A = this chain, B = another copy of it.
Amino acid sequence: MGSRIGLKDVALRAGVSVPTASRVLSGVQRNVDPELALRVRNACDELGYRVNAAARALRIQSTDSLALVVPAIANAYFAELVSAYSRRLDLQGKRLVTIDTGESPESEERQLGAMDRVLVDAVLVVPAAFERSGAAITELARSNRVVQVDRRARGVEAPSVRLDNAAGVRLLVEHLRARGRRSILMVDAQEDSSSSIERTAAFRALAGPDDRVLEMPNFTVASGTDAAKLLLANPGDTDAIICTADTVALGLLTALQHAGKRVPAEYAITSFDGTYISDTAAPGLTTLGSTAERMVEASLALLDDGSDDVVLKPELVVRGSSG
């Protein structure tokens, strides 16, 4: 049984007792002689000892890590959200473990169902779907602290932090109208996500007879280029576009430019996420500012004090793509 080295091996080599070794390593529960502490630390080095995560967590009932479950890490919006959480938690000495559900409620259910194999103190989840994610998240929330981030799922009582999507749509529509645009096309993904639902609903409520909605299969750059083809095949009076994701806007922008269309002269393009894409596209994309930092702050605060839902106000960032 000498295979794995445990704390008692360290204590033995350092010539101290197990409690003392523990006191040196983990807590400052009580003062220990600096000389003994040094011996313990040296013994650790020499033996290559590392504390057993499972044993420690079992006793302590706490790991210093959170899980973040996102639908698609390849989406720049979620990638930036992950980065923001990771940086923020790193400052606190905590770890973020990220899990990708591939925009698939089935995979999400598997991963959430197996979350009891991963050691975390709480789970931050961006639900893949509004309807189909509810059951798995509710189940998870029975035994874990759960916060819904960016999206919600139907019937889940876990608190949520999200953007005021209706206000965001209103900001973009009013901006485009103020610039004299008459016919707006909203390009959305037909994913069953709460944010998509809220955005299209808000848009339809504000839309006039000349405004349209185009549903693409997902939030990828390729969907943007496909949307451009569909638009060019059936241009109508459209002179302005609202994309519900920066990735889609990027594909749309480059495809329109490649087809010889001028942006913003012929088409004003706006978008939602405020990722680096909106900043580096040429021309820059008018978009709602990034809410990643605020979402991170709000959701972590919510985990601490257990307050209620948080709805963030969007801000408009005007760049060249809207004239």
Q: Report A's interface with B, CB cutoff 8 A.
A: 48-58, 63-65, 67, 72-74, 76, 79-80, 82-83, 86-87, 90, 93, 95-100, 102, 107, 110-111, 114, 116-119, 142-143, 220-222, 224-225, 250-251, 254-255, 257-258, 276-277, 279-283
Indicate if the CB atoms of A80 and B90 lie closer than 8 Å: no
Contacts of A55 in B (CB 8 A): 54, 58
Indicate if the CB atoms of A90 and B117 lie closer than 8 Å: no
Indicate if the CB atoms of B110 and A99 lie closer than 8 Å: no
Indicate if the CB atoms of A118 and B116 lie closer than 8 Å: no
Contacts of A277 in B (CB 8 A): 221
Indicate if the CB atoms of B95 and A98 lie closer than 8 Å: no
Chain A binding surface, main DSSP class: helix
Contacts of A255 in B (CB 8 A): 282
Least distance between A122 CB and chain B CB atoms (Å)? 13
Contacts of A279 in B (CB 8 A): 222
Q: Chain copies in the assembly?
A: 2
Of the candidates B63, B86, B224, B258, which one forms a contact with A100 in the assembled complex, judged by CB atoms under 8 Å apart? B86
Indicate if the CB atoms of B74 and A142 lie closer than 8 Å: no
Indicate if the CB atoms of B117 and A63 lie closer than 8 Å: yes
Of the candidates B110, B118, B251, which one forms a contact with A63 in the assembled complex, judged by CB atoms under 8 Å apart? B118
Indicate if the CB atoms of B118 and A90 lie closer than 8 Å: no
> Would you list the 10 A-B pairs with minimal beta carbon distance, nearest first?
A54-B58, A97-B97, A54-B57, A48-B142, A50-B143, A258-B282, A98-B98, A221-B280, A86-B100, A254-B282
Least distance between A108 CB and chain B CB atoms (Å)? 10
Indicate if the CB atoms of B142 and A50 lie closer than 8 Å: yes
Please give 17 more A-B residue pairs, beta carbons under 8 A apart, in addition to A50-B116, A97-B97, A254-B282. A49-B143, A50-B142, A53-B54, A53-B116, A53-B119, A54-B119, A65-B118, A67-B97, A74-B83, A82-B98, A93-B110, A93-B114, A117-B119, A220-B276, A254-B254, A254-B280, A255-B282
